Structures are given as C-alpha cells and as structure tokens.
Amino acid sequence: MFQKEQQFIEEKIKTFCKANNIALAELKWQPIPFAGEWGFATSFFQTAANEAKLSKGNKVPVPQKAQEIAEQVKGQLGSVEGISHIEAVKGYLNIYFKTSDYARRVVDEVLSNGANFGRGAKKSETVMVEYAQPNVMHSFHIGHARNTILGEVLARLVEFAGFETIRASYPGDLGLGVITIVWAYDKFYKGQEPIGVHERGQWLLKLYVEATSLLEKKDNESPNETAQREAYEAERREMYRKWDVGDPYVRDLWKTLREWSLEELREVLRMLDVKMDVWFYESDVDEPSKVIVDELIARGIADDERPQGGAVIVKIDEKLGLTKEKYRTNVILRSDGTTLYLTKDLALAKVKFEQYHVDRSIYVVDVRQSLHLQQAFAILKLWGFPQAEKCYHLGYGFVSLPEGAMSARRGRVVLFKDVADEAVKRVLSVEAEKSADIPAEEREAIAYQIGMGALTYSMLSVDNNKDIVFDINEALSFDGRTGPYIQNAYVRANSILKKSKVEGQKSDNLGPSTFDYELTKHEIELIELVSQFPMKVQQAAEEYRPLVMASYAYDLANTFHSFYHAVNVLQTEEETTKNARLRLVAASKQVIANALRLLDIQAPDVM
C-alpha cells in the first residue's frame, strides 16, 4: 500500500550504501503496529554482519555497527513526503506516517480498488490445485465436503495472490469397489433409475452397501449361503475382468452409472460454487501409465523383476541414495501387468506438467495418503521433473462421526446434501420471525447463504491437520467463531451505510475521508486489520494455509463488531468525522466481503 514511499527510501538507501561502499543486504520491510503512529521498519543487522565478514567494521560489534548504519541512513534521508518522522533505534530504521494520512490512505486504497483490494501482482508461475476427487458411485459425504472446501479456498487464495490457477478434479472411477456397484445394479436392479440427481447418486451408495453385505462372509453361514456368496463373488470378479478387457456391455453400463455419479458431483460443486477447469479420471491415465513403466525401466529408475516372476518396482530410497528407510520400495506394475494407484499418479503428474504447464502442483488429499504422495513426488524427482520440488500435499485430517469413522461400504456416512438441507431448515426456523418482511424465496436464498456459511467456516476454522468429529449442531452454530458471525459483521456494515442514506458504498458518494481527529482505539484496530488484508492473502497463498485467511476474517469481523458497539457512526456530530467513519465502515465492509469470497462464503445483504 505504501510502495511509493518504500521504493523512494530504498533507492536512497541503496545510493548511500553504494557511495560509501557498504555491503547492503536485501532490505526486508515490515509494518510497525500502531503505538501512537503507524509505520514500517527495516533492520541493518545483516548489512552490519556483511561488513564484519569483509573485516571492514574495525571490530565494532554487529549491533553497534547496525545502529551506526541506521543513523547514517537516517541522516541521509532528510524529510520525505508523506512521512512524519524517521527514527534510528537499535539497528532499525523506523519510518512513521502521519496517522491521519495513513488512515485516509488505507481507506481510500480499499475503496478505490473494491473487490480487487488485496489482489497480488501477477506472478509468472502456474499453480494447479487438485481437489474434489472422490471415487465415483460413492455419493458426496461430509468428508468430501472438507476436501472440496479446503481445495476451493486454496485455489481462490493462490489465484487472488496473483498466480495463474487451474482447478482440477481426479475422481477414482475404476477398481473393484466401482465394479461392485456395476455388478449389483446389473444383477438386481437393471433398468431402474431413480429420478433426481441426488437421489440417483445416493441410490448408488445404497447399492454398494447392499452388495458389500451380500459379498461379506458372515459368522455361522450355512453351506447354502456360502455357495451363494461365492457365486456372487465369482460374478463380480468376472465383471471386473470383462471391464478390464474392454467388454462393450460392461463398459457401457459402467459409463452410465459413472455419469449418474458425476452428475451428482457436479451438482454438489455447483452448490459449493466450485467451477472446475479440468477433469482427469483414473481410467484415463491407466493405459498411459503402462508406457511410463517402460520408460522408467529403460532409464534405470525402475527394476523389472518380471523375468524372475516378480513385479516392476522402484527402490526409491536406494535410487535417491538414502541410507535410512523413507520412501521404501514400490511396485509400479504387478506381475499380471496391471497398474497401481501410484503408477497412475505418475502418469497424471506428467500430464499436469507437460500439457498444462504447471509449475506448482498441489494435491488436496486426506493425510492417510501422505506416504503415497511423497512416494509419487520422489519418483517424479528421480524421473527428472523440476516441478517435483514444487509438488505439495495439502493433507487434512479425517472427518469422523461421534459414533466412529465414516464408512461408505457400511452406509455409515453423513451426506453433504442432507447437511445442506438441514442447514437451510434450521436457519429458516430461526429467521422466520425476524425477517417476515422478506419474500419467502429470498429468505430461502439467504438461509442457504447463512447455513452454508456456517458449514463452510466450520471446515476452515480447524487446522487442516486436525481431525474433525462432525457434529451437526456445532457445524451449524451461529455463535462465536462461526461463518454467520462474520457474515453478520458484513450485514451490520451494510445497514449502517444504508441508513446513512449514502447510495451503496460507492466511494465517490462519501466525500473525502479526513481522519484529522483523535481516532478511537476501535478505529485504530479496525484500520490496522483492514490494512493487513493484502499481506494475509500472500501469506495464506504462499504457505498454502486457508486457516490464515479464516482466522483473519474472524479477527476482522470481531474488530468490526467491537467498533460497531463502541462508536456510533451515524450519531457522529462533526460532519467530516462522520464521513470519515462512514468511509471506514464502507472499507471494512469491502474487506470482509473480499475475505468471505476467498473463503467461499457468501455475504448476504441482510440476515
């Protein structure tokens, strides 16, 4: 926000150091939190250390030397426009703004940039975020929702931070689990088709539960039952074999059911406001991955033990020269010629790098697949992909239920759609009296925004590494650290602006902001938080941590609520002060909106 001053001062420091033959280290600036004034600072410790290394310091200790340099620089700078004063303290150069100037500039900057406030400068790298990749025919449950929300928020963050961003999905659409459902459908339900996208998706899950139970060995099975179960098992295996050789009947049926499932997935993504750019399927990379196996053998990365009746393996640790066991040895082709999950991930990565020119590749996948992904990244490195260094696994903890782990096979899952419906119902029952004047349809739309806001934030406010025991009452709560609490700050800001009779929050309609008065503590805190937004965007994107933005949004909302209770904006007597405060409200509203958007949470105008 203050690049101009920063650049100007940096130039002066560089010129000074050059002229005086001082080995200036890279200048790192940081904001000075408000303590009477705002400012920014840099230190000269590294520069002093450089000097000492070159034996130029006449043995002056580094801290003392840093202070000397800071003082010399300060002497050199004189007065700078927009800066109230400059200090050289303990090796630091502290540069302060006039408070009213700073406040005005922060607010003006927000209002003139609007929805783009905080957007980072365009970066040269392309980032692909892969998420929302459940296995097909399993219906979307609350664990998938955590994955999708984390992935979408990460994508929004890196995109807003300035990276070219590609959103990718990679549903698992093959394997015995998938075939089990095709078999059950063909055997017991052929020709049936429930109406409704969600109904159809959920029905497939029901079939899976049923089939699993039929195929499962029971205690005290009668001989008849055993025979029956074994016959079913043989049919399932036969179907798998047929799928594998491309039998048209099985493939067609598989495609139809897969499409039912994907239709539901696409509908859920629409509900979550997720727009995928690329769809990869495991089945698409199966064949290409076989070619890769040959390439890895030819390049000496993989060992072909098939002649000895073995498989094709990669001794990752050995090839990397590691003496301690880390990535272990992995099979990449079974002796029967079939590929593994790992093999397909190698093929997928190649497509991402070569066809999509991805520089950074992020995988949002639950932590149980951590070793698998580290193994894949290690093989990519052996293979020679420079991007292997920039593959990143954003792992997340398990979502379980109070009664234990979710299990699709047992039908013990909490479906996302059910939670979303329940969320709307609950909000409507609370809001019905409060907002009787709002037309029913609109009320429903707002209830959806609030209910989903609660659910989404509950998935983001927990560190991604932590497990979540899903409790619907907690997830849909409105109080405390929740989505609706943040949405409510937005609504309040909005209502102040509406009541002030200022059309919308357009900056031109608010007149100039002149913060030439004694700012209250609440205003100072609010301005400080608002000014931090661009930095938080960069931090969250660089560290791949949605939680940084989730926490920031809460802090901002909390600070706004305190301000709202302490400072009566509309009753402010002095016209210019009132105007400045209204502009601060408008700026806060804008930044809350921007933060909510990054968190994939909508900002309702009323609630």
Whether 113 and 591 have beta carbons less than 8 Å apart is answered as no
Question: Considering Cα of 38, then 44, then 45, then 46, what sign does the dihedral take?
Answer: positive
Interface size with ligand ARG, residues (CB under 6 A): 10
Q: What angle do CA 356, 357, 359 make, to 5 degrees?
A: 125
Between CA 57 and CA 48 the distance in angstroms is 8
- Nearest-approach distance from CB 417 to ligand ARG, in angstroms: 18
Nearer to ligand ARG, 169 or 494 (CB): 169
Nearer to ligand ARG, 365 or 537 (CB): 365
The tokens for 146 are 């955590």
118 binds ligand ARG (CB under 6 A): no
151 binds ligand ARG (CB under 6 A): no
Between CA 432 and CA 551 the distance in angstroms is 30
Contacts for 466 with CB less than 8 Å, ≥ 6 apart: 397
Name the residue with the smallest CB distance to ligand ARG: 172
Binder among 363, 416, 490, 515 for ligand ARG (CB under 6 A)? 363
Nearer to ligand ARG, 134 or 453 (CB): 134
- Nearest-approach distance from CB 239 to ligand ARG, in angstroms: 21
139 binds ligand ARG (CB under 6 A): no
Contacts for 223 with CB less than 8 Å, ≥ 6 apart: none
Q: What letter represents residue 592's amino acid?
A: I
Q: What is the DSSP string of 441-455?
A: HHHHHHHHHHHHHHH
Read off the DSSP letter of residue 238. H
134 binds ligand ARG (CB under 6 A): yes
Q: Are strands 30-32 and 39-43 parallel, antiparallel or unpaired?
A: antiparallel
330 binds ligand ARG (CB under 6 A): no
**Angle between helix 575-598 and 521-542 (nearest 10):** 20
Q: Which stretch binds ligand ARG (CB under 6 A): 93-101, 132-140, 251-259, 589-597?
A: 132-140
51 binds ligand ARG (CB under 6 A): no
133 binds ligand ARG (CB under 6 A): yes
Binder among 345, 523, 525, 600 for ligand ARG (CB under 6 A)? 345
170 binds ligand ARG (CB under 6 A): yes
Binder among 182, 346, 348, 549 for ligand ARG (CB under 6 A)? 348
Q: Which stretch binds ligand ARG (CB under 6 A): 120-128, 130-138, 153-161, 544-552?
A: 130-138
Residue with structure tokens 């930044």?
591
Nearer to ligand ARG, 134 or 534 (CB): 134
- Nearest-approach distance from CB 338 to ligand ARG, in angstroms: 17
- Nearest-approach distance from CB 528 to ligand ARG, in angstroms: 40
Query: What's the length of the chain?
Result: 607
406 binds ligand ARG (CB under 6 A): no
Q: What angle do CA 76, 81, 85 make, to 5 degrees?
A: 60
Between CA 314 and CA 333 the distance in angstroms is 10
Binding site for ligand ARG (CB under 6 A): 130, 133-135, 170, 172, 345, 348, 363, 365
